[in-house]
Each structure stands twice: as C-alpha cells, then as structure tokens.
Amino acid sequence: MAKIMNNSEKNVVSNLNTKTPFFIVESYKNIRTNIISLLNKNGGNVLAITSPNAGEGKSTTAINVAITLSQLNKKVVLLDADLRRPSMNKRLKIDAEIGCVDYLCDKNKIDDIIVHYNNYLDVITSGSKAKNPSELFSGHRFETLLGELRERYDYVVVDTPPINPVSDSLIISQKCDALFMVVRSGVTTYYSFNKAYDALKVLDVDISGVIINGTGANTSHSYKYKNKNSQYYKY
C-alpha cells in the first residue's frame, strides 16, 4: 500500500491550466506517476477511488486523476459509480440524463452513455436514479461494462461511494484492478480509516494507495498505517 499525499482541497481543477496553483498541478502529476507505477506492477488498468466517509475529497480527486492521466494523450474514461450521491455531471457541467444506471438496467447500450469531455477523456455519469445500487453492481452487467471499458481505454477511473456508510464500494472494488483511498487531513480519523480498511480486508481487497487530501502546500503530515508491504510517498 502506497501513501500519496495530495496537497489540493480545491474543486475540480478543470484542465490543470496556468490559473491553477503550481503546487496543486504538481501534486496531481506526482499522484499520476505513482498510480501508473502501481498499475504497471500489479497489471490492469481499472482503478477505483474511494474514501472512508463522505466529504473527504474522493470525487474531486477522481476527476483530477482522470484529467492528468488524459494529459499523457492516453484514452481515459471516468465512471461515476457513486449512484447514491452522484456529482460528476454538476462538477463537469455535462448532461446526466442517461448513464451507468441505464446501462446496468439494460435500457441503453454502452455507446449511448459515454460523453466525450475532450479528445482523450470520456465520462460516464450515474444517469437515472437507482433504487438498488448494490444489486446493480453485483450483477453481470457491471462486469460486462468494466470489461468493455478495459478494452476501449488505457485507463478507467471509477469514482465509488464512501466505504463506511454503504456496501457499494466493497462490491465494486473486487472487480477493479487497484483501489486508492482518499483521506482528508484533520477530518478522517484513524477509527474511520481502520473500519474501512478492515471491511476491505475481510474481502481480501488490498488498498493500493492512500491519497492524503487537504494538507496544504508546505505541510508534511505523516500518517502511519500498519501494513508490512506498505510504501510511502510524501508530497
């Protein structure tokens, strides 16, 4: 398990342009480098991003990770799998009438739900409201969706619900190649992290990395989690 420190607690940084503070841009580039390294070691191209609880920055991180990966001229798709509190459509200002739910319910084909955000980044919003998210992710349609996206894209970034409140992420994470957990400095407690970690451990799901959010440009917090295989990256 790697620890990747993310200095940003901003909203979506759009295309990481010159208006974005330098340290934020570099934070996400460092995160990108470590994610690619970990994926290359583990194999696969589907990564899930989650957090122990809501409000810790996972969705903002997922969007910005997807953007930075696409800036390598790689084909990337960002999938909003947080069906209970979707946010991609509002943050990216795109249409959300149909999306993940509509495909999982067999109402639409995959090409119907893909939104082209720019030349290298596509987005799949949550789509229609779901009454039974956990059941949808447990079904074969979700595995089919991920299988198709694996073939079409260099990287698939999945924004999942927080782990502690609902079981959706536990189901999703078993079907992805890597899982990165976002924790927020001064907000996430060791108890909540440990609760999420234990829930994943029961299912033999490893955390590939921990992204520490909201530390500030000149901060060097050190979070230590017991894992003999852990690697630590400080930014």
Domains and CATH numbers, the chain: 2-232 (3.40.50.300)
In which residue are the tokens 């234990």 written?
198
Q: What is the pTM of this model?
A: 0.85
d(CA 29, CA 26): 5
12-21, 26-35, 197-206: which range is least confident on average? 12-21
What are 50-77's pLDDT values in tens digits?
999 999 999 999 999 999 999 999 999 9
What would the DSSP string read from start to end of 127-164? Answer: -S--S-HHHHHHSHHHHHHHHHHHHH-SEEEEE---TT
Contact assessment for residue 120 and residue 73, using Cβ atoms and an 8 Å cutoff: yes
* Res 221: pLDDT: 41
Residue 46 has pLDDT above 60, yes or no: yes
pLDDT of residue 216: 60
